[in-house]
């Protein structure tokens, strides 16, 4: 659209075509003066290349780590809506009566006054809704510029809960998971994220996304995403 | 109201006609009628007939019955009034007690601090006398004024709300600390409560340090730490002593040492109440500050410049600080403040005996203000009155004053002297406040729309920009649509109790999941049972809205997503619903506008394209002619189509200014006036434009915002227009004269976008805005 060129205003005006949406010149993080700069920056990186996980997770210098983690988790919960929409069509309470991944654990839904054995689809929705409420809570996260240490501590439990959505999809709706993962690289990014910031312990990261890669025997993050990409292509083919 | 003193009805005005009719028939039959008919004794005697007598008796009886019922009504009214006044007084007493209690606590803390300081500095205990924690029950005993016990209750909530409201008003009109300080000082001095000399003399805290043995403080009104003060402590109740301490500098200088104990107490109470209310006024600014903090500030202020050098070291430090403060205050008296002071001069000029005179006037009306405020207005005739107001300026402003006062819950009506003083204090404040508002909102002309909208609810739960919102037709319920791919249902009656904040947070009661990309537009059916959303991926979803009392964590009901309307091949940006039948218009970046009947098996009714005009950005049914629709384009074109034929009916004139605007030709939103043949467009070039549908001519154009105008809404009556812009503000416009009534900064920017949508509730006094900051806000 013409206005993108003639003015540098970064706007999605009514009438913008899908392909033009957010298609504007990149903005340097240092030049973002908005209170939502971190979100802007993360989304800009994802739009640029969603497979470039390391770059996406690399905080700008002097960026407050609490805010960085918080904004990333917001972004994860937002993108997880995509998997929830897919699950709504496929994951029925009759077939998936409980939230499970492997048969080891049944996860209780923490969105209720007393934790409840919700069917997987309800668990998914409730967990995302609960995360939305918590991450937007004026009590715990009144500001998106600075975050209390006590609130940062809450991020870990949100991570653990939303991760179960990945694991359920992986173990029970593998096609759906693969399709979604291909489009987004979300589980990879999430796994890397919680590992990098020690938000979850390795034992409970049960979706074997690293193992598959590890067998291909490479070291170092730079090659990782490419390797994933290749893996996916191979499996598709 | 005629309340008879005795049982007889001699001077009942109604009796005369009956007598005329019936003659002195009552004589001998009823003792009461004997007297009634005294006036007829000069009439010639008439013959009585039984029917006549019976008729007369019946008539009289009916009359008595009627009057009795009138008296009963009047009595009930008076009782209600009494109850109201008592309640009001009780409220004020409670407030007073609460404040006194706080003061006591702070004072106690201060003393302890002082003792600690003293001990640290000199290594000896400070002789402060019996420093003991304040015992609050004293408050009950110390009611010498009315002898009626007052209960300490928790009903301060109401007062807090009142104070909040007052604070908001003050903030809105841009009150600064300085002005409030100056004003309240000025009012006080006008009342003769605080002549300049006094503040130099009294200092209750200094007194307490000096007096040693005394619990601290002076007895009301006597200059700091005098012998009178220390001689009386044993006799006075603890409460009244503390009261006297609290009033400090507000003590009238001309007060002589009280002749009797009771008198002293009355004066104390009076002054204390005054002090409390001044405190209220002063507190009006610091919203974020805790009440406790405010109090301590106030205490500091009270420890005024002190001539008494014998004060303790800490006290000296305090007063030094306060001197500096006072100096700053004086320096800060800028032009604005001076203006404020001038406003007061009218009061000073002729109301030497203000308190008395005003009190009398105060009692005359319900609101208790008519006399005074209109007097004030007439004196303030230099101030521009509402421009187009139908009512004379004076009346309008007076009404406003009363209105304001009523809102603040400050209508004073008791006839005690205390309340008279209060009445003036608050009145003076409010009158001036109001005046500031009048000059600010010059354009507002109708009392009913003097309403100022305030943010009340914050809707947080979306993870990304909120692109659209729509209210339920009757319930306090709305739906928001976001770039986070979800829609959420909000019930404004389900709020989270929030501390410290004037606005309430709301959590959604339902999250609509179905879009896989950002949701861009939204429309709610006139039944409130369905809504429709358009997405970036070209999808158009129809939703059955769950009841607003649904459990947010209920199990998933797939029937909420009823169906999808397939057809658009690119982002759907605009939606509009027919107000009578369930027909839906959608505009898309694929270049087409489509008309749907979502309930039909083949829902697509027709497709409208106008390739030469570019991409449609927004669409609306023409509300006064539902066979037409109006579509805006990113080429600055705006066209009315006939829905039957699919042909363009009127092409709205393109403003010359748009043609070569550096801001682009884009129209962001088009809406149709609910009742008039008027189309309103919001432009990227910061304009709002108005078109006559019949001629297609531009009726009016105005630069409406500092940045692109993105969204519009007209209130259900068609009188007011709401606009939102990427300049972060929403503005309310009077459609009659196209003037801005109110501007509210509402959302923050994400990239270069800020506000995406605004809405009026179709039947309730709510407006809402949706922003790129992932929030939606509702104003009341
Ligand atoms: Zn499942
Ligand atoms: Zn649940």
CA dist., res. B231 & res. B392, Å (int) = 59
Query: B264: buried, middle or exposed (CB in 10 Å: 19+, 13-18, 0-12)?
Result: buried
Q: Is residue A158 situated within a structural domain?
A: yes
pLDDT tier for residue A46 given thresholds of 50, 70 and 90: very high
Instruction: Give φ, ψ of B699 to 5 degrees.
Output: -90, -35
3-state secondary structure of B472: coil
Q: B692 has which bridge partners?
A: B678
Look at residue B359 in the predicted model and tell me its pLDDT: 37
Q: Looking at per-residue confidence, does B168 or A237 come out higher?
A: B168
Is the CB of residue B458 less than 8 Å from the CB of residue B777? yes
Give the number of other Cβ atoms within 10 Å of residue B580's Cβ: 9
User: Strand locations in B556-655, DSSP E?
Assistant: 561-564, 572-577, 584-588, 592-596, 604-609, 616-621, 628-633, 638-642, 648-651
- SS3 string of B170-206? HHHCCCCHHHHHHHHHHHHHHCCCCCHHHHHHCCHHH
Residue A96, annotated as binding a ligand: yes
Q: Is residue A221 situated within a structural domain?
A: no
Its pTM stands at 0.58
Q: Looking at per-residue confidence, does B153 or A179 come out higher?
A: A179
Q: B681 has which bridge partners?
A: B670, B689
CA dist., res. B373 & res. B395, Å (int) = 9
Low-confidence ranges of chain B (pLDDT < 70): 1-46, 123-450, 498-502
Q: Mean pLDDT for chain A?
A: 85
- Could you give the C-alpha distances from A54 to A29, A67, A202, A223, B116, in angstroms and in order? 17, 18, 18, 10, 58
Look at residue B48 in the predicted model and tell me its pLDDT: 81
Residue A109, annotated as binding a ligand: no
Is the CB of residue A182 less than 8 Å from the CB of residue A232? yes
Q: Is residue A111 situated within a structural domain?
A: yes
Residues in chain A, how many? 237
Look at residue B498 in the predicted model and tell me its pLDDT: 66
Instruction: Kindly list the residues from chain B whose CB atom is less than 8 angstroms away from the CB atom of residue A108.
Output: none
**Which residues, other chains included, contact B260 with Cβ-Cβ below 8 Å and sequence gap of 6+?**
none
3-state secondary structure of B543: strand
**Which residues, other chains included, contact B393 with Cβ-Cβ below 8 Å and sequence gap of 6+?**
B377, B381, B385, B386
Q: Residue B553 C-alpha to ligand 2 middle, in angstroms?
A: 6
Instruction: Kindly list the residues from chain B whose CB atom is less than 8 angstroms away from the CB atom of residue A77.
Output: 463
In chain A, the residue whose alpha carbon lies closest to the alpha carbon of B517 is A82
Q: Which residue among A35, A77, A122 places its CB closest to the CB of B555?
A: A122
CA dist., res. B409 & res. B158, Å (int) = 9
Q: What percent of chain A has pLDDT over 90?
A: 72
Chain Cα centroid distance, residue B625:
38
Structural domain count of chain A? 1
Does the distance separating the beta carbons of B634 and A13 come in below 8 Å?
yes
Look at residue B95 in the predicted model and tell me its pLDDT: 87
Q: Is residue A117 situated within a structural domain?
A: yes
Query: B515: buried, middle or exposed (CB in 10 Å: 19+, 13-18, 0-12)?
Result: buried
Q: Looking at per-residue confidence, does A18 or A233 come out higher?
A: A18
Instruction: Kindly list the residues from chain B whose CB atom is less than 8 angstroms away from the CB atom of residue A16.
Output: 571, 573, 589
Is the CB of residue B15 less than 8 Å from the CB of residue B9? yes
Residue whose structure tokens are 């309307």: B565
Nearest to B682 by CA among B651, B660, B656, B714: B714
Look at residue B274 in the predicted model and tell me its pLDDT: 47
Among A12, A15, A46, A115, most B C-beta atoms within 10 A, so best to mutate, is: A15
Look at residue B6 in the predicted model and tell me its pLDDT: 42
B331 membership: H or E segment, kind and range: helix B313-331
Look at residue B388 in the predicted model and tell me its pLDDT: 36
CA dist., res. B573 & res. B614, Å (int) = 14
CA dist., res. B633 & res. B617, Å (int) = 5
Structure tokens at A74: 């917001």
Instruction: Give φ, ψ of B8 to 5 degrees.
Output: -85, 165
Query: B231: buried, middle or exposed (CB in 10 Å: 19+, 13-18, 0-12)?
Result: exposed
The minimum CA-CA distance between A10 and chain B, rounded to whole Å, is 5
DSSP state of B144: T
CA dist., res. A10 & res. A23, Å (int) = 9
CA dist., res. B568 & res. B416, Å (int) = 74
Calculate ∠ Cα B4-B5-B8, nearest 5°: 65
Does the distance separating the beta carbons of A85 and B753 come in below 8 Å?
no
Q: Which long-range contacts (CB under 8 A, 24 or more apart) does A4-13 make?
A: A6/B662, A6/B664, A7/B662, A7/B663, A7/B664, A9/B752, A10/B751, A10/B752, A10/B753, A11/B708, A11/B726, A11/B751, A11/B752, A11/B753, A12/B753, A13/B617, A13/B634, A13/B666, A13/B668, A13/B684
Q: Which residue among A12, A34, A85 places its CB closest to the CB of B513?
A: A85
Does the distance separating the beta carbons of B515 and A3 come in below 8 Å?
no
End-to-end CA distance of chain B: 41
Q: Is residue A232 situated within a structural domain?
A: no
Calculate ∠ Cα B39-B40-B46, nearest 5°: 165
CA dist., res. B428 & res. B186, Å (int) = 10
DSSP state of B631: E
**Which residues, other chains included, contact B403 with Cβ-Cβ below 8 Å and sequence gap of 6+?**
B447, B450
Residue A118, annotated as binding a ligand: no
Q: What is the largest CA-CA distance in chain A?
A: 59
CA dist., res. B701 & res. B400, Å (int) = 32
Ligand in closest contact with the CA of A112:
2
DSSP state of B243: H
Structure tokens at B552: 């947010």
Q: Is residue A15 situated within a structural domain?
A: no
Ligand in closest contact with the CA of A118:
2
Look at residue B101 in the predicted model and tell me its pLDDT: 87
The minimum CA-CA distance between A194 and chain B, rounded to whole Å, is 20
Domain that holds residue A125: 64-203
Residue whose structure tokens are 């001519």: B697
Q: Residue A170 C-alpha to ligand 1 middle, in angstroms?
A: 9
| Per-residue pLDDT tens digits for A119-156 | 999 999 999 999 999 999 988 999 988 999 999 999 99
CATH number reported for the structural domain that contains residue A152 in this entry: 1.20.140.30
Query: A196: buried, middle or exposed (CB in 10 Å: 19+, 13-18, 0-12)?
Result: middle
**Which residues, other chains included, contact A179 with Cβ-Cβ below 8 Å and sequence gap of 6+?**
A86
The minimum CA-CA distance between B558 and chain A, rounded to whole Å, is 8
Look at residue B117 in the predicted model and tell me its pLDDT: 81
Among B535, B539, B554, B556, most A C-beta atoms within 10 A, so best to mutate, is: B556
Nearest to A166 by CA among A137, A196, A192: A192
CA dist., res. B455 & res. B780, Å (int) = 6
Look at residue B432 in the predicted model and tell me its pLDDT: 33
Predicted complex ipTM: 0.88
CA dist., res. B680 & res. B699, Å (int) = 10
- Judging by DSSP bridges, how do beta strands B540-544 and B530-535 pair with one another? antiparallel
Is the CB of residue B650 less than 8 Å from the CB of residue B696? yes
Residue A173, annotated as binding a ligand: yes
Q: Which residue among A15, A21, A132 places its CB closest to the CB of B463?
A: A132
Q: Is residue A127 situated within a structural domain?
A: yes
Q: Which residue among B556, B615, B616 places its CB closest to the CB of A88?
A: B556
Lowest mean pLDDT among A166-170, A173-177, B375-379: B375-379
Q: Is residue A1 situated within a structural domain?
A: no
Q: Which residue among B508, B515, B570 places its CB closest to the CB of A17?
A: B570
- Taking only Cα atoms into account, the Rg of chain B, rounded to an integer number of angstroms, comes to 35
| Per-residue pLDDT tens digits for B454-493 | 999 999 999 999 999 999 999 999 999 999 999 999 999 9
Look at residue B419 in the predicted model and tell me its pLDDT: 38
Nearest to B530 by CA among B547, B511, B544: B544
CA dist., res. B741 & res. A105, Å (int) = 60
CA dist., res. B752 & res. B706, Å (int) = 13
């Amino acid at each position: 659209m013409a206005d993108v060129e003639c003015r540098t205003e970064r706007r999605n005006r009514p009438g913008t075509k899908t392909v033009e949406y957010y298609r504007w010149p990149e903005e340097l993080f240092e030049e973002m003066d908005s209170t939502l700069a971190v979100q802007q920056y993360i989304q800009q990186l994802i739009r640029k290349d969603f497979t470039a996980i390391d770059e996406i997770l690399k905080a700008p210098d002097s960026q407050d780590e609490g805010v960085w983690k918080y904004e990333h988790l917001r972004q994860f919960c937002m993108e997880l809506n995509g998997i929830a929409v897919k699950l709504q069509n496929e994951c029925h309470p009759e077939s998936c009566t409980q939230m499970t991944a492997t048969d080891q654990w049944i996860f209780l839904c923490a969105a209720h006054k007393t934790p409840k054995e919700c069917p997987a689809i309800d668990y998914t929705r409730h967990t995302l809704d609960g995360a939305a409420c918590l991450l937007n809570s004026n009590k715990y996260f009144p500001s998106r510029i600075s975050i209390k240490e006590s609130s940062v501590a809450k991020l870990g439990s949100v991570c653990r809960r939303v991760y179960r959505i990945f694991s359920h999809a992986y173990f029970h709706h593998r096609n759906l998971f693969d399709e979604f993962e291909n489009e987004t690289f979300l589980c990879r990014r999430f796994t890397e994220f919680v590992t990098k910031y020690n938000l979850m312990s390795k034992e409970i990261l049960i979706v074997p996304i690293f193992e598959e890669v590890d067998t291909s025997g490479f070291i170092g993050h730079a090659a990782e995403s490419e390797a994933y990409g290749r893996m996916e292509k191979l499996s598709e083919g | 109201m005629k309340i008879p003193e005795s049982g007889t009805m001699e001077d009942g005005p109604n009796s005369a006609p009956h007598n005329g009719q019936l003659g002195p028939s009552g004589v001998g039959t009823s003792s009461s009628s004997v007297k009634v008919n005294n006036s007829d004794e000069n009439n010639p005697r008439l013959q009585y007939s039984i029917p006549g007598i019976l008729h007369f008796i019946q008539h009289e009886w009916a009359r008595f019955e009627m009057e009795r019922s009138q008296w009963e009504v009047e009595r009930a009214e008076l009782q209600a009034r009494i109850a109201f006044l008592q309640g009001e007084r009780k409220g004020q007493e409670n407030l007073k007690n609460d404040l006194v209690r706080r003061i006591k606590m702070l004072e106690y803390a201060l003393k302890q601090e002082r003792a600690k300081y003293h001990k640290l500095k000199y290594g000896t205990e400070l002789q402060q006398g019996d420093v003991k924690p304040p015992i609050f029950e004293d408050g009950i005993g110390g009611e010498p004024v009315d002898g009626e016990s007052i209960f300490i209750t928790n009903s301060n909530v109401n007062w807090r709300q009142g104070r909040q409201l007052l604070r908001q008003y003050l903030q809105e009109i841009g009150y600064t600390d300085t002005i409030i300080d100056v004003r309240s000082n000025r009012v006080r001095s006008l009342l003769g409560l605080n002549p300049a000399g006094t503040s130099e003399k009294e200092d209750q805290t200094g007194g307490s340090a000096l007096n040693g043995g005394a619990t601290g403080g002076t007895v009301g009104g006597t200059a700091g730490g005098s012998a009178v003060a220390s001689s009386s402590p044993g006799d006075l109740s603890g409460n009244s002593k503390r009261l006297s301490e609290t009033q400090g500098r507000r003590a009238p200088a001309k007060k002589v040492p009280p002749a009797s104990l009771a008198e002293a107490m009355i004066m104390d109470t009076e002054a204390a109440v005054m002090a409390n209310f001044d405190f209220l006024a002063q507190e009006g600014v610091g919203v974020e500050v805790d009440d406790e903090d405010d109090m301590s500030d106030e205490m500091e202020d009270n420890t005024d410049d002190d001539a008494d050098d014998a004060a303790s070291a800490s006290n000296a430090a305090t007063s030094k600080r306060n001197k500096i403060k006072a100096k700053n205050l004086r320096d800060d008296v800028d032009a604005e403040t001076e203006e404020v002071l001038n406003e007061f001069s009218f009061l000073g000029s002729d109301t030497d005996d203000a308190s008395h005179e005003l009190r009398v006037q105060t009692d005359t009306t319900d609101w208790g203000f008519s006399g005074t405020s209109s007097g004030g207005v007439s004196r303030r005739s230099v101030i521009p009155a509402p421009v187009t107001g139908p009512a004379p300026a004076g009346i309008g402003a007076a009404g406003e004053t009363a209105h304001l006062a009523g809102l603040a819950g400050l209508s004073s009506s008791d006839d005690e002297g205390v309340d008279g003083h209060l009445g003036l204090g608050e009145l003076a404040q409010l009158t001036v406040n109001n005046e500031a508002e009048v000059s600010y909102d010059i354009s507002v002309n109708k009392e009913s729309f003097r309403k100022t909208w305030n943010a009340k609810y914050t809707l947080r739960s979306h993870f990304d920009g909120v692109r659209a919102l729509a209210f339920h037709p009757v319930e306090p319920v709305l739906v928001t649509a976001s770039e986070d791919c979800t829609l959420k249902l909000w019930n404004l009656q389900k709020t989270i109790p929030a501390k410290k904040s004037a606005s309430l947070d709301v959590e959604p009661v339902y999250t609509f999941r179905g879009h896989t990309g950002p949701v861009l537009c939204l429309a709610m059916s006139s039944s409130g049972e369905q809504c429709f959303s358009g997405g970036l991926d070209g999808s158009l979803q129809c939703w059955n809205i769950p009841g607003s009392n649904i459990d947010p964590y209920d199990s998933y009901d797939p029937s909420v997503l009823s169906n999808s309307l397939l057809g658009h091949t690119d982002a759907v940006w605009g939606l509009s619903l027919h107000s009578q039948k369930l027909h839906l218009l959608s505009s898309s970046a694929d270049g087409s506008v489509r008309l749907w009947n979502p309930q039909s098996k083949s829902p697509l009714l027709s497709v409208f394209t106008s390739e030469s005009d570019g991409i449609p950005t927004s669409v609306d049914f023409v509300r006064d002619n539902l066979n037409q629709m109006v579509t805006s384009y990113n080429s600055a074109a705006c066209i009315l189509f006939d829905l039957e034929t699919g042909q363009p009916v009127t092409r709205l004139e393109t403003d010359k200014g748009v043609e070569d605007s550096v801001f682009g030709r884009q129209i962001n939103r088009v809406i149709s006036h609910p009742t008039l043949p008027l189309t309103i467009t919001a432009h990227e070039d910061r304009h709002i434009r108005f078109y006559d549908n019949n001629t297609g001519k531009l009726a009016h154009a105005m630069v409406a915002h500092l940045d692109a105008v993105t969204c519009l809404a007209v209130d259900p009556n068609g009188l007011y227009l709401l606009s939102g812009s990427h300049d972060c503000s929403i503005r309310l416009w009077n459609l009659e004269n196209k003037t801005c009534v109110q501007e509210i900064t509402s959302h923050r920017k994400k990239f270069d976008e800020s506000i995406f949508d605004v809405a009026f509730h179709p039947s309730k006094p709510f407006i809402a805005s949706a922003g790129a900051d992932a929030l939606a806000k509702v104003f009341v």
